[in-house]
């Protein structure tokens, strides 16, 4: 049985979406970021620092989304979603996998400070402003890359695109997207994919964001 350890609207959506692109079914084991379930010793045996995603498949358990993406694309090359060693796009493919985590770590920091800290430890407006600017810089880089292509890699859709799942949900809460025209068109193409739509149906309701946009306080 394939099991995806999952939190709705989080990085584990990347894997939920990739599984749909591959036509693979998985049982979802759901967690919450705030109820302590990620800290349970049974879960730490699966994911040592208590993070999602983790995937149980083919008799192995894997944590870290990029490692899961690599495993799935290497063991199921028939879907053509990875760019395996020897592929002309291997380097940009690996770069986008890493880029997704660079961008996600900024989002996680903004989420932590805007959503999960609160009083009595108010977040620093200086840091929040800096993080929002750093996020905008990553979106600008993506926007430039997407100027002449539909997907992150010139040859077409790949698992690198599925790594953007969580990122593209979260970024509009912190950065106005109007100036990133190519990214917005890219999001529209993503939303038109049947596998993405199936994954969204399976994902569950997000519980993090209570507002449409999070301004820098006193920014």
Ligand X SMILES: N[C@@H](CCC(=O)N[C@@H](CS)C(=O)NCC(=O)O)C(=O)O
Count, in order, helices (H) and strands (E) of the chain. Answer: 9, 4
The Cβ of residue 33 has, within 10 Å, a number of other Cβ atoms equal to 19
- Minimum CB separation of residue 63 from ligand X in Å reads 6
For ligand X, which residue of 38, 62, 142, 195 counts as binding (CB under 6 A)? Answer: 38
Q: Is 52 in the site for ligand X (CB under 6 A)?
A: yes
Residue 16 makes CB contacts below 8 A (sequence gap 6+) with 4, 6, 26, 28, 165, 199, 202, 203
Longest dimension (CA), the chain: 53
Q: Is 64 in the site for ligand X (CB under 6 A)?
A: yes
Q: Is 51 in the site for ligand X (CB under 6 A)?
A: yes
Residues 2-31 that bind ligand X (CB under 6 A): 7, 10-11
Q: Which is nearer to ligand X, 14 or 83 (CB)?
A: 14
For ligand X, which residue of 28, 101, 125, 172 counts as binding (CB under 6 A)? Answer: 101
Alpha-carbon distance of 186 to 173, in angstroms, equals: 18
Q: Is 162 in the site for ligand X (CB under 6 A)?
A: no
Q: DSSP character for 175? A: S
Binding-site ranges for ligand X (CB under 6 A) = 7, 10-11, 33, 38, 50-53, 64-65, 101, 108, 166
């Amino acid at each position: 049985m394939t099991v995806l350890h999952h939190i709705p609207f989080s990085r584990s959506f990347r894997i939920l979406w990739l599984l749909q692109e591959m036509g693979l079914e998985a049982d979802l084991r759901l967690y919450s970021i705030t109820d302590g379930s990620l800290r349970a010793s049974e879960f730490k045996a699966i994911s040592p620092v208590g993070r999602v995603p983790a995937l149980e498949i083919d008799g192995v358990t894997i944590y870290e989304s990029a490692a899961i993406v690599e495993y799935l694309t290497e063991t199921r090359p028939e879907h053509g979603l990875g760019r395996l060693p020897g592929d002309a796009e291997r380097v940009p493919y690996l770069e986008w996998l890493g880029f997704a985590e660079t961008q996600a770590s900024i989002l996680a920091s903004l989420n932590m400070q805007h959503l999960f800290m609160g009083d009595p430890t108010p977040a620093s407006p200086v840091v929040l402003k800096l993080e929002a600017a750093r996020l905008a810089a990553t979106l600008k880089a993506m926007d430039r890359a997407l100027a002449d292509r539909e997907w992150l890699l010139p040859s077409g859709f790949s698992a690198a695109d599925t790594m953007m799942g969580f990122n593209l949900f979260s970024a509009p809460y912190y950065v106005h997207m109007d100036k990133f025209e190519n990214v917005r068109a890219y999001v529209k193409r993503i939303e038109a994919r049947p596998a993405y739509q199936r994954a969204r149906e399976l994902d569950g309701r997000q519980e993090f964001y209570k507002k449409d946009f999070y301004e820098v306080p006193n920014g």
